[in-house]
Chain A
């Protein structure tokens, strides 16, 4: 009986597909919904750079039919000193899918700093145009990050002609263990940063408003929850591509996600997703790619964390000021514990759970075995999210105050420093002693030294960077 229903369903789906067959051709449009996204970055390959400035008036792409398509208009001033150890985003553009075999940069002026100030340089000929070969293949609806690598030290010929030594680095994967993934919540793609290069090396289109992310236990699949399109994108971290999409058939405004690995097959597991408006948590099996169960929790569930050893899930409920604890074996609600005002973040430590309460200046410390509040930590606040690492230290993003608070392993505040605009997501690279903080209020990720407690640099990603996840074995 069940099989008959399935067969009927498949037949109906096929009929629906066939009846819509005449709609399979894209209608050409300059802003076609099938357009790809090209992210054009630029960085300097020289660390001790000659002080040089040039102005870009236009950038064009060469299509397969040798026609030139305008990508962007200037003028944009490029300073060599500003690009030392830094990458900038020149343009994020919607481009028709296809193969683009060249990039033309039109320069309107260039100068180099001498003893007596800036001296103009002759422009490349003809007409200040520099053409670089590229191999940019843009797929329909996908994202592609291309980086212009410029060597200022080799950009002057004959002492007076500006001939920029430029190469295009197309999007290609780096070694998996070097990657940091950032969800750009005001857009529909994730940015991929190579932590050794400290640059964006890739981008992958997911769904609308990507927010929380979780890696599986074998660290080859990244699950990205897309809050506006109500689905989950499964990203192959080795190939920078979307493997599959899980449609969430229930739950309103999914925001955060966590995974409990399957004991018998470490590639798979169960995903838990908080739904902020429908006040529940969806449980999804990664094999079936379906919602198995929906668990009602408190009001306004936002952040979620898992204890893989205890097999428990912890959910902060922003509007009911409490913490729900779920048994990940039978997916039942165990208990609800009152915390402080507007809990928005959570971190599971060793025998402690830290709940960050954005409505107060306190972090609630909960004992998972006693199931109650055991202490409070006061920070300058208001604390929204946090992270524990680097030998038990705590790092707290005070989003509304644009600051980051450092605490030592005794849970005592050591320092609060300015961060970017609305810092929210945190990820730590313990092998390189680096802390990454996404700045939701602008386009950047801040890089901190967690021991020296200071900001080192900012990296440009996409609009509204929210979550940060890194691979580290």
Chain B
């Protein structure tokens, strides 16, 4: 392809360095930290043709933090294709790589690759497709780090007008996958989302309406068999490697294999497996084909003894890799679950191929106690499915310019269920089967609001009011453990405000707000506030704002109440443009009462800020706090006329017994080089004279 002449290549190279050293002394102890970063880059961007643009660069970075060095190189390549003139579609391909050597560690390679296709939509639907892949691995054999993440994404949007209705349709699909080849885990979360939006005006725009509706379906497959936020605990069955039940009466539990007892894992808790607990040294266990992570064991029993729940046994837990030589893990936590007629053992997650429990004592007076089944409990691969539908409608009506009303309703409903999942067969287990795992959550939120605003008498009186209400219902069901929980919550709120601006130099407003919160249909707290402010331009460059607010907050369940009042003022003085003086003050008072006991608190604040800019090259500011604590901060920034391309800034402040100071200089001696040095420090006037200091320096060179 003949290169297009007329566009120049752009070569660029750069060097950046930055350094920070911090020292902190507190309570006589001093800690220091230093961080140095340097980065170099060399790159090229070039329009190969009028439609193909290529850019590539390589960056080298080195970081030394507290003596530990990390070095990295980052090559990058990016290709972008834009079809000529009509801008029909865009293609881009990007690749960057990172080779890092962490301090004292092995090199790690990370890469990111992305391919995108975009068909921008104007008169037709826009379409975009992208694929992103990231890898992270070391160079060891076998790897200690080896991960892969991919994400496929498809998106289409179509905006059009139909029968004077602005319509928006959108469909999105994404499929992120994350694989850890070392930890042997995999997770995937494909999702589809469809939304539609409509808006239309009526009656010459005096009525505006809008509606939207959406539906999404997502799944999340988590194939790791260990504790995680999305995993669910469940019985480890044949799909998880369960191979056999084991039993023996053995007084030497550390050695000897046990006899195969398939009746222990036949999913029948009603018939005896031929084992009783009316004696010592009952070794009862399970065998897996490969090591599994287990954190619980259930031993199902049958007995006619009515006192079974009162009996105590002594138990010990053992594991093995070969079924012959056993390791004592310890004494598991034990409880009797009458509803299941089982003894439940729980312990820290342990990985092994063989597990057994051995009783070290038994209730001699007990009637016959027969063991019927054994289960090993771990975290199972799960498939979480979520569907969500949502939507809303809003309408606003402004019959004339001085009146506007609006109403809005939105709803959001989602249903999630988490089931045990077999990654090999991709089989999803039905709910409510014996021993299967199910967790479902269904929630619905509905919110409505109404607002009205009116210029009752334009300039002199404006009025607005609003009301909003929302309810939320959530029901969760789990089978392991078996539970159904349902929560209902809601809130209501009102607000009212009046505002007036009768003169260009005078304006005021008065407002009231109320909100209440409910749980299970009952109000459990409420808040209300009333406030007002007035603003006056007393003279040219002199503005005064005053305001107050009073509030009441009640917690009905705790039977407590807090009343508060706050008065504030703001004085703005601008005698000339370059000087601004602001004075802010407030007085607050609150009383909190709980069970007849009242506590009172009050506070005052008073502060002033002065900004002075005699020229654009000199800026001075001062912030002075008088209440509640005395504080002062002064800052100066100066661009000296005699020192071209230099900017100096310094600041100094005190607050109580703490003093802060700092400054920095930035200088550009030549257009391609910029330098900066900065310092900041603080000192506390206490017994140990605590202090901190930090020095920062940076340099940037561009070629």
Q: Which residues of A contact B (CB under 8 A)?
A: 1-3, 6, 9-10, 13, 16-17, 20, 23-27, 29, 33-34, 173-178, 194, 196-198, 201, 218, 220, 230, 236, 238-239, 241, 243-244, 247-252, 262, 264-268, 277-280, 287-294, 296, 299-300, 319-321, 338, 340-342, 359-362, 375-381, 391, 408-416, 430-433, 449, 451-454, 473
Which chain A residues border B507 with CB–CB below 8 Å?
A: 415, 452-454
B452-485: which residues lie under 8 A (CB-CB) from chain A?
453, 462, 464, 466-468, 470
Which of B69-77, B256-264, B278-286, B685-693 is the contact stretch? B69-77
Which of B89-97, B269-277, B302-310, B325-333 is the contact stretch? B89-97
Chain B residue, CB-CB nearest to A141: B10
Which of B39-47, B353-361, B369-377, B554-562 is the contact stretch? B39-47
In the bound complex, what is the Cα–Cα distance between A249 and B92 (angstroms)? Answer: 9
Residue of A13, A279, A319, A412 near B511 (CB, 8 A) is A412
The 8 closest A-B pairs by CB, nearest first: A249-B94, A250-B114, A196-B613, A378-B466, A412-B513, A175-B619, A175-B637, A264-B35
Residue of A17, A218, A265, A280 near B35 (CB, 8 A) is A265
Interface size class, chain B: 35 or more
B286 CB to nearest A CB, Å: 35
B538-584: which residues lie under 8 A (CB-CB) from chain A?
543, 545, 547, 549, 551, 568, 570, 572, 577-578, 580, 582, 584
**Structural contact, B531 and A410, CB atoms closer than 8 A:** yes
In the bound complex, what is the Cα–Cα distance between A304 and B155 (angstroms)? Answer: 21
In the bound complex, what is the Cα–Cα distance between A142 and B200 (angstroms)? Answer: 43
Chain B residue, CB-CB nearest to A249: B94
Which chain B residues border A414 with CB–CB below 8 Å?
A: 497, 499, 509, 511, 533
Which chain B residues border A173 with CB–CB below 8 Å?
A: 639, 647
In the bound complex, what is the Cα–Cα distance between A34 and B116 (angstroms)? Answer: 28
In the bound complex, what is the Cα–Cα distance between A9 and B76 (angstroms)? Answer: 9
A249 in contact with B3 given A289-B41, A291-B96 (CB within 8 Å): no
**Structural contact, A23 and B46, CB atoms closer than 8 A:** yes
**Structural contact, B511 and A196, CB atoms closer than 8 A:** no
**Structural contact, B155 and A432, CB atoms closer than 8 A:** no
In the bound complex, what is the Cα–Cα distance between A204 and B216 (angstroms)? Answer: 42
Residue of B19, B139, B394, B616 near A175 (CB, 8 A) is B616
B645-703: which residues lie under 8 A (CB-CB) from chain A?
645, 647, 649, 651, 664, 666, 668, 671, 674, 676, 678, 694, 696, 698, 700, 702
How many A-B pairs fall under 8 Å by CB? 371
Tell me whether B7 is interfacial, beta carbon within 8 Å: yes
- A–B Cβ pairs within 8 angstroms, 11 of them: A16-B54, A23-B7, A177-B621, A249-B114, A265-B18, A290-B98, A296-B189, A359-B392, A408-B531, A410-B551, A416-B464
**Structural contact, A410 and B549, CB atoms closer than 8 A:** yes
**Structural contact, B116 and A278, CB atoms closer than 8 A:** yes
Known A25-B8, A280-B153, A378-B451; further 17 A-B contacts with Cβ < 8 A: A2-B107, A16-B54, A17-B11, A175-B616, A196-B577, A239-B674, A279-B153, A341-B390, A342-B212, A377-B493, A412-B512, A414-B533, A431-B580, A431-B621, A433-B570, A452-B535, A473-B651
**Structural contact, A6 and B73, CB atoms closer than 8 A:** yes
Which chain A residues border B3 with CB–CB below 8 Å?
A: 20, 23
Residue of B193, B210, B647, B664 near A319 (CB, 8 A) is B193
Which chain B residues border A453 with CB–CB below 8 Å?
A: 499, 507, 509, 535
In the bound complex, what is the Cα–Cα distance between A197 and B428 (angstroms)? Answer: 68
**Structural contact, A412 and B5, CB atoms closer than 8 A:** no
**Structural contact, B635 and A473, CB atoms closer than 8 A:** yes
Which chain B residues border A174 with CB–CB below 8 Å?
A: 616-617, 639
Tell me whether B611 is interfacial, beta carbon within 8 Å: yes
Tell me whether B631 is interfacial, beta carbon within 8 Å: no
**Structural contact, B63 and A451, CB atoms closer than 8 A:** no
In the bound complex, what is the Cα–Cα distance between A58 and B426 (angstroms)? Answer: 76
Which chain A residues border B497 with CB–CB below 8 Å?
A: 412-415
